[in-house]
Amino acid sequence: MKLSPDTKFYGVGGDDMEKLGVELLYHLKNFSSMGFSEVIGKVPFYFKALKKLEKEVVARGTKTAIVIDFQDFNLRLAQRLSKRGVKVLYYVAPQAWVWKPGRAQKLKTAAHTLFTILPFEKKWFGDRGVKQVKSIPHPLMLTYKNLLSDIPAKPFNSWEKKLKILVLPGSRRFEVELLLPEFIKTTEELRKTYNVEVHLVKVSHIPEAYYSLYKNKVDVVHESQDLVKAMKECHLALAASGTVTLSTGLFELPTIVAYRASLLNEFIFNNFIQYKGAVSLTNIVHGKNIFPELIQVDANANRFLRVIRSWLEDEKTYNEMKRDLKETKNLLAGDNFSVPEYMARVIHD
The per-residue pLDDT for range 177-211, each reduced to its tens digit, is 999 999 999 999 999 999 999 999 999 999 999 99
Examine residue 151 and state whether it is found in any structural domain, yes or no.
Answer: no
Q: How confident is the model at residue 98 (pLDDT cuts 50, 70, 90)?
A: confident
Give the per-residue pLDDT at 37.
60
**CATH code: domain of residue 168:** 3.40.50.2000
Examine residue 306 and state whether it is found in any structural domain, yes or no.
Answer: yes
The total of structural domains in the chain comes to: 2
Give the per-residue pLDDT at 22.
96
Measured CA distances, 278 to 53, 97, 169, 208 (Å): 38, 12, 19, 32
For the chain, give the mean pLDDT: 93
Q: What's the farthest any 2 CA atoms get from each other in the chain? A: 72
Cα separation, 49 vs 32, whole angstroms? 13
For range 121-140, the mean pLDDT? 97
Cα separation, 114 vs 103, whole angstroms? 12
Select from 142, 169, 176, 166 the least CA-distant residue to 250.
142
Examine residue 339 and state whether it is found in any structural domain, yes or no.
Answer: yes
Give the per-residue pLDDT at 35.
53
Q: Are residues 65 and 204 located together in one domain of the fold?
A: no
Q: Are residues 191 and 71 located together in one domain of the fold?
A: no
Q: Are residues 97 and 187 located together in one domain of the fold?
A: no
Q: Are residues 169 and 264 located together in one domain of the fold?
A: yes
The per-residue pLDDT for range 218-241, each reduced to its tens digit, is 999 999 999 999 999 999 999 999
Cα separation, 106 vs 129, whole angstroms? 10
Cα separation, 127 vs 147, whole angstroms? 35
Q: Are residues 325 and 340 located together in one domain of the fold?
A: no
Give the per-residue pLDDT at 267.
56
Give the per-residue pLDDT at 100.
86
Q: Are residues 77 and 124 located together in one domain of the fold?
A: yes
The domain of 81 spans: 10-136+334-348
Give the per-residue pLDDT at 2.
81
Judged against a pLDDT cut of 80, whether residue 215 lies above it is answered with: yes
Q: Are residues 209 and 92 located together in one domain of the fold?
A: no
Q: How confident is the model at residue 272 (pLDDT cuts 50, 70, 90)?
A: low
Q: Are residues 343 and 205 located together in one domain of the fold?
A: no
The answer to whether residues 93 and 121 touch, using CB atoms and an 8 Å cutoff, is yes
Measured CA distances, 347 to 21, 23, 280, 342 (Å): 17, 18, 36, 9
Q: How confident is the model at residue 99 (pLDDT cuts 50, 70, 90)?
A: confident
Examine residue 143 and state whether it is found in any structural domain, yes or no.
Answer: no
Q: Are residues 233 and 300 located together in one domain of the fold?
A: yes
Give the per-residue pLDDT at 260.
86
The per-residue pLDDT for range 320-348, each reduced to its tens digit, is 999 999 999 999 999 999 999 999 999 99
Indicate the range of 64-68, 109-113, 193-197, 269-273 predicted with least confidence.
269-273
Higher pLDDT, 278 or 224: 224
Give the per-residue pLDDT at 32.
76
For range 11-38, the mean pLDDT? 86
Q: How confident is the model at residue 261 (pLDDT cuts 50, 70, 90)?
A: confident
Q: Are residues 168 and 315 located together in one domain of the fold?
A: yes
Cα separation, 77 vs 46, whole angstroms? 10
Dihedral angle over CA of 264, 267, 270, 272, nearest 10: -90
Examine residue 3 and state whether it is found in any structural domain, yes or no.
Answer: no
**CATH code: domain of residue 82:** 3.40.50
Q: Are residues 183 and 117 located together in one domain of the fold?
A: no
SS (H, E, C) the chain: CCCCCCCCCEEEECHHHHHCCCEEEEEHHHCCCCHHHHHHHCHHHHHHHHHHHHHHHHHHCCCEEEEECCHHHHHHHHHHHHHCCCEEEEECCCCCCCCCCCHHHHHHHHCCEEEECCCCHHHHHHHCCCCCEEECCCHHHHHHCCCCCCCCCCCCCCCCCCEEEEEECCCCHHHHHHHHHHHHHHHHHHCCCCCEEEEEEECCCCCHHHHHCCHHHCCEEEEHHHHHHHHHHCCEEEEECCCHHHHHHHCCCCEEEEECCCHHHHHHHHHHCCCCCCCCHHHHHHCCCCCCEEEHHHCCHHHHHHHHHHHHHCHHHHHHHHHHHCCHHHHCCCCCCCHHHHHHHHHHC
Examine residue 34 and state whether it is found in any structural domain, yes or no.
Answer: yes
Cα separation, 203 vs 258, whole angstroms? 18
Q: Are residues 128 and 251 located together in one domain of the fold?
A: no
Q: How confident is the model at residue 264 (pLDDT cuts 50, 70, 90)?
A: low
Q: pTM above the 0.85 mark?
A: yes
Cα separation, 117 vs 309, whole angstroms? 34
Give the per-residue pLDDT at 321.
97
Give the per-residue pLDDT at 31.
87
Give the per-residue pLDDT at 113.
98
Cα separation, 66 vs 99, whole angstroms? 24
Examine residue 80 and state whether it is found in any structural domain, yes or no.
Answer: yes
Examine residue 18 and state whether it is found in any structural domain, yes or no.
Answer: yes
